[in-house]
Structure 1
Amino acid sequence: MNRRSYEAHVLLVPLGTDAARAQEDMVARGLDGVMTVRGVTPLTGSDGAEPRLGSAPLATTGWRPAADGLTVARLVDDADMVVLLATDLAEVPPRFCLTVAEAAQANGSLVAALVVGSGNWDTPQGNTAMAALREAVDMLVVVRGVALAAPFLDVLRGGRRKPALATL
């Protein structure tokens, strides 16, 4: 695939229902061109079974077609960056974070965690989740709200795309 300028293939993995709501707020703020994962719950992968998940464009465009029933290895395939998105740390499945990170790193992808607002930070579940995120990722970023998270993801993927204007 030829690109006119660099644009990273970013896969956003919302860790729980609050994170899924946060990514919808990011779409409302103009985030596009990112793929998202469907079906992650606090229990995903906790029984040791290989999870099967879906992937779709977050907004109107993505870098691959939507698909369901994907293994974690297939989910991260072709992603340049895998971003684990958390808002309520009690909803973060620690084992799943490590599974995704291992698959992404084996794929050569950068793995990041984006924590928005950090609910339940000071609970035992929150401490366990934060420890798992720290262990799993190459980069951990904590922001106060979606207003900062959406532009951060735009920067990771290479910035917003505007049509090229011919000048004479």
Structure 2
Amino acid sequence: MNSTRRSYEANVLVVPLGADAVRTQEAFAGRGLDGVMTVHGVTEPAPAGHAAARLACAPLHRDGWRPPATGLGVDALVDGADMVVLLAADLAEVSPALCHAVADAARARGALIAALIVGSENWDTPRGNTAMAALREATDMLVVVRGVALAASFLDVLRGGAREPAAAP
């Protein structure tokens, strides 16, 4: 999104929670959001615990803060992230167990955990209520926005925001 950044950049990992969240993050890539990693293959954690889950990680658009990887457990997935963003669009698709598994692993590594809800379908369903409660419990910050443009800008700010090059005196 911005090519003028010259300061600290946070390592942001986006974890889409459901098919609608995957489509939402694809729209982020269409807006040119770079420097953010995303997760592929998100499913419910295995009954034996979150360590058994195997996921893939790749740049959201062109560039990321680490190389793509596959076969990662939740602990390895969040390793190196400064901030983990649980992305939701349809709250009925959100797995509370996965929210807690990812958040616990991120918190153990000192990462900030955020929930970013875009559009927020199914607020008023039992599954949506359960998902919202899990997101509130699992995260340090919960942000609800109406559309993709604002959500993409929010993620860009989280990773450091646009910076103009310093002008020579």
* TM-score, length-scaled by structure 2: 0.91
Which amino acid in 1 is paired with 2:53?
P
Q: Distance in 2 between matches of 1:24 and 1:160?
A: 21
Q: SS of 2:150's equivalent?
A: helix
- In the alignment, is residue 139 of structure 1 matched against residue 141 of structure 2? yes
| Residues 96 and 48 of structure 1: CA distance in aligned 2, closer, same or farther (over 3 Å) | farther
User: Where does 1:75-154 land on structure 2 (aligned, <5 Å)?
Assistant: 75-154=77-156
Who is 1:159 aligned against? 161
- Preserved CA contact (<8 Å) 2:6 2:163: no
Offset of 1:67 from its aligned partner? 0.4
Q: Distance in 2 between matches of 1:57 and 1:128?
A: 30
Offset of 1:30 from its aligned partner? 2.0
Which amino acid in 1 is paired with 2:119?
G
Q: Distance in 2 between matches of 1:135 and 1:46?
A: 21
Offset of 1:47 from its aligned partner? 3.0
Q: Distance in 2 between matches of 1:113 and 1:166?
A: 36
Who is 1:74 aligned against? 76
Q: SS of 1:140's equivalent?
A: strand
- Preserved CA contact (<8 Å) 1:12 1:36: yes
Which amino acid in 2 is paired with 1:92?
V
User: Percent identity over the alignment?
Assistant: 69
Offset of 1:160 from its aligned partner? 3.7
Structure 1, unmatched stretches of 5+, are none
Q: Deviations over 1:121-143 (max 9, x none)?
A: 11000001000000000000000
Give the root-mean-square deviation of aligned CA atoms.
Answer: 1.7
- In the alignment, is residue 30 of structure 1 matched against residue 23 of structure 2? no
- Preserved CA contact (<8 Å) 1:46 1:93: no
* TM-score, length-scaled by structure 1: 0.91
Q: SS of 2:92's equivalent?
A: helix
Q: Deviations over 1:93-117 (max 9, x none)?
A: 1001001000000000000000001
Q: Deviations over 1:15-39 (max 9, x none)?
A: 0111010011111112111000001
Q: Distance in 2 between matches of 1:5 and 1:165?
A: 10
Q: Distance in 1 between matches of 2:23 and 2:103?
A: 22
Structure 2, unmatched stretches of 5+, are none
| Residues 30 and 161 of structure 1: CA distance in aligned 2, closer, same or farther (over 3 Å) | farther
User: Where does 1:4-15 land on structure 2 (aligned, <5 Å)?
Assistant: 4-15=6-17
- Preserved CA contact (<8 Å) 1:46 1:95: no
Which amino acid in 1 is paired with 2:39?
V
| Residues 161 and 54 of structure 1: CA distance in aligned 2, closer, same or farther (over 3 Å) | farther
